Structure 1
């Protein structure tokens, strides 16, 4: 049985949620759609964070903690004017993962974060979604820099940050910060 907070709203609350989601910018490429997260997206988010794959993101997390992390992904839009998107395949409409312009306690800069489902790793999806989110941050929000905070043992995310052209710095004992700069604002 699905817990009540993990169930999609119905009736008037569903319409309210749809109206709020419509305010979140949608980004589209030939292959990907970045759209507002929905309750229906949470199971994939939990699948990522509640398993060993979540080890580099403070996990593995319990399902309740994954829920609160997911809520943070969605609520950033209302609190800071930036937040998370669900990554969807344009053709199949399959949910592939998530990308975020987020801000957590302790972050010195707005974070560009990315995670995709296990079967979608290594396909360039996180790279393309991160590029789209970064372009939005620089071109639309006019931000001067972003950081990708990455666990020092997360080789796949480190390679992605380097492929994106971010510059490596040390954040703390376990985390690296990869800084993305907006050359247009410098």
Structure 2
């Protein structure tokens, strides 16, 4: 696409579509597009800090930098129970549900306080234990694997530092986190999505 086509494409977007685009899919953009984005932000009278999310998405991070962004999320209240007594962390929820001839496998990242993370992992292990076996052949093989994976990631839920699930989530959403790092409500929406 040439720059004129890109500019026309941006103009057709709503504010929310444009913000979503630059905060989630800004990596790998050509340098010439940066000026178009700056102009569009200014023309729409949007927060100029939104452009920072583009720069963040096109940067290589040290682990310390990723941990800095993860700490912004860790200090939020738990989206499940509202608690602020423990720092948030992340987990991956693995589930299998089988229906005789087929099985549905699901893997989902979840951010909450350690107590709520444990509840989610326990619930996933229970539902997988009860509903995962019945599909042939994949349910029979995946059920013990997914139960073990839930058990294994559950050990990281109470880490005093950002765990692997939270660091991965942070890196994946770093553009959004940068754009809204001063807005607690928006950060809560990010971890809920």
TM-score, normalising length from structure 1?
A: 0.25
Higher RCO (CA 8 Å, separation ≥ 6 residues): 2
Structure having the higher strand fraction is 1
TM-score, normalising length from structure 2?
A: 0.24
Larger Rg: 2
